[in-house]
Amino acid sequence: MYEFLLNFHSIFRYAVMLSLLFSIGVAYDGYRNKKRFTKSADTLRHWTATIAHIQLIVGFILYFKSPIISFFYSNYELVSESWNTIFFAVVHFAIMLIGIVILTIASAMAKRKPSDELKFKTMLVWYSVSLILIVIAIPWPFSPLSERPLIRY
Protein backbone atom coordinates (compact mmCIF):
# COMPACT_ATOMS: atom_id res chain seq x y z
CA MET A 1 0.00 0.00 0.00
CA TYR A 2 2.73 2.47 1.04
CA GLU A 3 4.90 1.57 -1.99
CA PHE A 4 1.95 1.95 -4.35
CA LEU A 5 0.99 5.36 -2.90
CA LEU A 6 4.56 6.62 -3.05
CA ASN A 7 4.86 5.54 -6.71
CA PHE A 8 1.52 7.10 -7.57
CA HIS A 9 2.32 10.35 -5.71
CA SER A 10 5.70 10.50 -7.45
CA ILE A 11 4.41 10.04 -11.02
CA PHE A 12 1.26 12.12 -10.47
CA ARG A 13 3.40 15.22 -9.92
CA TYR A 14 3.68 15.41 -13.72
CA ALA A 15 -0.10 15.48 -14.15
CA VAL A 16 -0.29 18.31 -11.58
CA MET A 17 2.46 20.31 -13.28
CA LEU A 18 1.32 19.72 -16.87
CA SER A 19 -2.28 20.65 -16.14
CA LEU A 20 -1.12 23.83 -14.39
CA LEU A 21 1.23 24.72 -17.26
CA PHE A 22 -1.50 24.12 -19.83
CA SER A 23 -4.00 26.22 -17.84
CA ILE A 24 -1.50 29.05 -17.51
CA GLY A 25 -0.81 28.95 -21.29
CA VAL A 26 -4.53 29.03 -22.11
CA ALA A 27 -5.11 31.84 -19.59
CA TYR A 28 -2.23 33.88 -21.02
CA ASP A 29 -3.50 33.44 -24.58
CA GLY A 30 -7.08 34.24 -23.56
CA TYR A 31 -6.09 37.34 -21.60
CA ARG A 32 -3.69 38.74 -24.21
CA ASN A 33 -5.91 38.10 -27.20
CA LYS A 34 -9.15 39.02 -25.41
CA LYS A 35 -10.70 35.63 -26.14
CA ARG A 36 -13.98 34.25 -24.83
CA PHE A 37 -13.79 32.15 -21.68
CA THR A 38 -15.26 29.08 -23.35
CA LYS A 39 -16.69 25.94 -21.81
CA SER A 40 -13.40 24.13 -22.49
CA ALA A 41 -11.40 26.86 -20.67
CA ASP A 42 -13.77 26.44 -17.75
CA THR A 43 -13.36 22.64 -17.82
CA LEU A 44 -9.59 23.10 -17.81
CA ARG A 45 -9.84 25.48 -14.83
CA HIS A 46 -11.91 22.92 -12.96
CA TRP A 47 -9.84 19.81 -13.81
CA THR A 48 -6.54 21.47 -12.97
CA ALA A 49 -7.80 22.10 -9.44
CA THR A 50 -9.27 18.58 -9.24
CA ILE A 51 -5.97 16.94 -10.29
CA ALA A 52 -4.18 18.92 -7.54
CA HIS A 53 -6.85 17.81 -5.04
CA ILE A 54 -6.23 14.15 -5.93
CA GLN A 55 -2.51 14.70 -5.26
CA LEU A 56 -3.38 16.43 -1.98
CA ILE A 57 -5.50 13.49 -0.81
CA VAL A 58 -2.82 10.95 -1.75
CA GLY A 59 -0.25 13.18 0.01
CA PHE A 60 -2.34 13.14 3.20
CA ILE A 61 -2.71 9.35 3.15
CA LEU A 62 1.03 9.05 2.52
CA TYR A 63 1.64 11.38 5.44
CA PHE A 64 0.01 8.87 7.80
CA LYS A 65 1.68 5.83 6.22
CA SER A 66 5.22 7.11 5.71
CA PRO A 67 8.01 5.78 7.98
CA ILE A 68 9.77 9.15 7.59
CA ILE A 69 6.80 11.00 9.09
CA SER A 70 6.29 8.51 11.94
CA PHE A 71 9.99 8.88 12.75
CA PHE A 72 9.47 12.66 12.89
CA TYR A 73 6.61 12.42 15.39
CA SER A 74 8.18 9.75 17.59
CA ASN A 75 11.81 10.95 17.78
CA TYR A 76 11.69 14.68 18.44
CA GLU A 77 15.14 14.76 20.01
CA LEU A 78 16.79 13.21 16.91
CA VAL A 79 14.80 15.09 14.29
CA SER A 80 17.03 18.17 14.24
CA GLU A 81 19.79 15.96 12.82
CA SER A 82 17.71 14.80 9.90
CA TRP A 83 16.82 17.58 7.46
CA ASN A 84 15.17 15.03 5.13
CA THR A 85 12.67 14.19 7.85
CA ILE A 86 11.91 17.86 8.57
CA PHE A 87 11.55 18.50 4.85
CA PHE A 88 8.79 15.94 4.31
CA ALA A 89 7.06 16.37 7.68
CA VAL A 90 6.96 20.18 7.63
CA VAL A 91 8.35 21.98 4.54
CA HIS A 92 6.94 19.82 1.73
CA PHE A 93 3.61 19.48 3.54
CA ALA A 94 3.22 23.21 4.31
CA ILE A 95 4.32 24.61 0.92
CA MET A 96 2.21 22.10 -1.03
CA LEU A 97 -0.81 22.81 1.13
CA ILE A 98 -0.45 26.57 0.62
CA GLY A 99 0.05 26.07 -3.14
CA ILE A 100 -3.09 23.96 -3.45
CA VAL A 101 -5.17 26.29 -1.24
CA ILE A 102 -4.17 29.23 -3.50
CA LEU A 103 -5.10 27.16 -6.56
CA THR A 104 -8.49 26.23 -5.07
CA ILE A 105 -9.34 29.83 -4.14
CA ALA A 106 -8.15 31.06 -7.56
CA SER A 107 -10.32 28.49 -9.34
CA ALA A 108 -13.39 29.55 -7.33
CA MET A 109 -12.62 33.25 -7.83
CA ALA A 110 -12.08 32.88 -11.60
CA LYS A 111 -15.42 31.13 -11.91
CA ARG A 112 -17.23 34.05 -10.25
CA LYS A 113 -15.48 36.95 -12.03
CA PRO A 114 -17.88 39.13 -14.04
CA SER A 115 -15.85 39.28 -17.28
CA ASP A 116 -13.90 36.78 -19.39
CA GLU A 117 -10.83 39.04 -19.18
CA LEU A 118 -10.89 38.91 -15.37
CA LYS A 119 -11.43 35.14 -15.38
CA PHE A 120 -8.32 34.63 -17.51
CA LYS A 121 -6.33 37.17 -15.47
CA THR A 122 -7.19 35.49 -12.15
CA MET A 123 -6.20 32.10 -13.52
CA LEU A 124 -3.00 33.43 -15.08
CA VAL A 125 -1.73 35.15 -11.93
CA TRP A 126 -2.75 32.71 -9.20
CA TYR A 127 -2.22 29.44 -11.06
CA SER A 128 1.32 30.72 -11.78
CA VAL A 129 1.91 31.47 -8.08
CA SER A 130 0.65 28.00 -7.21
CA LEU A 131 2.87 26.33 -9.83
CA ILE A 132 5.96 28.17 -8.55
CA LEU A 133 5.32 27.01 -4.97
CA ILE A 134 4.69 23.42 -6.08
CA VAL A 135 7.84 23.29 -8.24
CA ILE A 136 9.93 24.63 -5.33
CA ALA A 137 8.60 21.99 -2.90
CA ILE A 138 9.04 18.99 -5.22
CA PRO A 139 12.09 16.92 -4.14
CA TRP A 140 13.79 16.97 -7.56
CA PRO A 141 17.08 15.03 -7.85
CA PHE A 142 18.73 18.48 -8.29
CA SER A 143 16.80 20.25 -5.51
CA PRO A 144 18.86 21.78 -2.67
CA LEU A 145 15.99 20.96 -0.26
CA SER A 146 15.62 17.20 -0.66
CA GLU A 147 16.47 14.73 -3.41
CA ARG A 148 14.26 12.02 -4.83
CA PRO A 149 14.25 10.31 -8.27
CA LEU A 150 12.48 11.81 -11.30
CA ILE A 151 10.66 8.51 -11.86
CA ARG A 152 10.22 5.54 -9.55
CA TYR A 153 10.06 1.99 -10.93
For the chain, the 3-state helix, strand and coil shares in percent, each to the nearest 5, are 80, 0, 20
Confirm or reject binding of residue 93 to ligand HEM (CB under 6 A).
Answer: yes
Over the window 30 to 69, marking each residue x when it contacts ligand HEM by CB under 6 A and - when it does not, the resulting string is ----------------------x--xx--xx-xx--x-xx
State which residue, 6 or 118, has the beta carbon closest to ligand HEM. Answer: 6
Chain positions 5 to 24 lying near ligand HEM, rule: CB under 6 A, are: 6, 9-10, 13, 16
Task: Provide DSSP, 80-136.
Answer: TT-HHHHIIIIIHHHHHHHHHHHHHHHHHHHHH-SSHHHHHHHHHHHHHHHHHHHHH
Listed ranges 32-40, 75-83, 107-115, 144-152: which one lies at the site for ligand HEM (CB under 6 A): 144-152
Contact assessment for residue 111 and residue 45, using Cβ atoms and an 8 Å cutoff: yes
Cβ neighbour number for residue 75 with a 10 Å cutoff: 12
Q: Can you give the binding site for ligand HEM, defined by CB under 6 A?
A: 6, 9-10, 13, 16, 52, 55-56, 59-60, 62-63, 66, 68-69, 88, 92-93, 96-97, 100, 134, 138-139, 148-149, 152
